[in-house]
Each structure stands twice: as C-alpha cells, then as structure tokens.
C-alpha cells in the first residue's frame, strides 16, 4: 500500500489540486424560487432609492411649487384682464375688445397648462418610490416637455429650463433604470 492513500475521487491527473469549483454565474432562468436573490449572491438591484432618483423627485416637487406660484400670478392677471374688460366703455373699438378677449383666452390656456404640469409633476414625484419603468419614462417625457415649454418663455422660464434638464439627466442614469426595473415583492 502506498503512503499517503490515494483518493479515488480526487482531481484527475494533470490538474492542480485545491482549486475547487469555479464561481457560479447568475441563473439565466430567473431569481431563486424563495424570493430575492439566491443565497450567497449579491443583489443585482438597489434596495434603497438612488440619489439621482431622490434628486429628480425633489426637483419635480420644486417645479410643482413654482407652478403654483405661477398659477396664482396667472389667476390674478386673469382677474385684472376681466376687470378691464368690464370697465371698457360701450363705445370702445372692436380692436380693444378683441385684444382683451384674446388676453383672457391666453391666460385661461396658461392656467390650464400650469394645472396639468403641476398635477403631472406631483403624481410622478409621488410614484418614484414604488412605480415601475413607466414612471421613469413619464418623468423623462415630463422633463422634456417642461424644458420645451419653458424655452418659449425664456427669460422668465430659465429656472424651469434648468430644472427640467436636471430631471432628464437624473432619470436617464443607469442607477435610475435599475431602480425602476427592480422586482417588487
């Protein structure tokens, strides 16, 4: 008998002993059936909301607040234009009356637009914590629309332009994508 005893199940000849099995790759068939990642594996998805998503959510709340301030100004402007329309003399020219009507129409359009943008910003910001990929895409579309509308009012909408670009940048990051496509249990 030879010393030390040979293991019949040892490594085949030509291999260095002691290297063991190679590291396992993630399963191509989905997550572990018990829920969550397989035991001993690092989670692939973030468990805490990334900083970029938190920042984009805060920016959308700020945009909604700025929109409410603009809404108050637009309603006050509509009141002033309506008061001016009522105080015109019956002998006023048709141009003056039509300009006041046009001003009222533009202000009503602006008020409706501000209400829509505020509601969308608040809804998307509230859904950032538990929403799916549609929330991320909606936030990017909101940022683009906000930037385009604010460029039409450039000197006054500069803050909205910058904040809209920041929403687009933060929501377009890879960490934001991983947050919104994570599995929800």
Q: First CA to last CA across the chain, in angstroms?
A: 59
**Residue 142 lies inside a defined structural domain of this protein:** yes
Give the span between the Cα atoms of 95 and 18, in whole angstroms: 94
pLDDT of the chain along its 185 residues, tens only? 556 666 667 666 665 555 555 555 655 655 555 555 555 555 577 778 889 999 999 999 999 999 999 999 999 998 888 888 777 766 667 767 777 778 888 889 999 999 999 999 999 999 988 878 899 999 999 999 999 999 988 888 899 999 999 999 999 998 888 888 888 76
Residue 151 lies in a domain: yes
Cα(60)–Cα(79) distance, rounded to whole angstroms?
28
Domain that holds residue 159: 51-180
Residue 137 in any domain: the answer is yes
User: For residue 178, which of 52, 11, 2, 15 has the smallest C-alpha distance?
Assistant: 52
The reply to whether 75 falls in a domain is: yes
* CA distances, 12 to each of 3, 6, 113 (Å): 19, 12, 75
Residue 59: inside a domain: yes
Whether residue 93 is contained in a domain is answered as yes
Residue 118 lies in a domain: yes
- Answer yes or no: is 26 within a domain: no
Q: Domain total for the chain?
A: 1
């Amino acid at each position: 008998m030879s010393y030390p005893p040979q293991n019949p199940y040892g490594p085949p000849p030509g291999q260095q002993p002691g290297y063991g099995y190679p590291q396992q790759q993630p399963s191509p068939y989905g997550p572990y059936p018990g829920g969550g990642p397989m035991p001993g594996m690092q989670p692939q998805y973030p468990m805490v909301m990334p900083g970029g998503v938190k920042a984009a959510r805060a920016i959308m709340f700020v945009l909604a607040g700025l929109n409410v301030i603009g809404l108050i100004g637009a309603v006050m402007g509509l009141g002033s234009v309506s008061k001016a329309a009522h105080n015109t003399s019956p002998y006023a020219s048709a141009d003056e009356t039509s300009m006041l009507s046009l001003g009222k129409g533009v202000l009503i359009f602006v008020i409706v637009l501000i209400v829509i943008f505020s509601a969308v910003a608040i809804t998307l910001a509230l859904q950032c914590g538990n929403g799916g990929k549609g929330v991320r895409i909606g936030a990017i579309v909101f940022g683009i629309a906000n930037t385009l509308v604010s460029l039409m009012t450039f000197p006054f909408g500069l803050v909205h332009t910058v904040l809209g670009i920041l929403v687009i940048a933060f929501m377009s990051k890879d960490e934001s994508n991983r947050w919104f496509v994570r599995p929800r249990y």
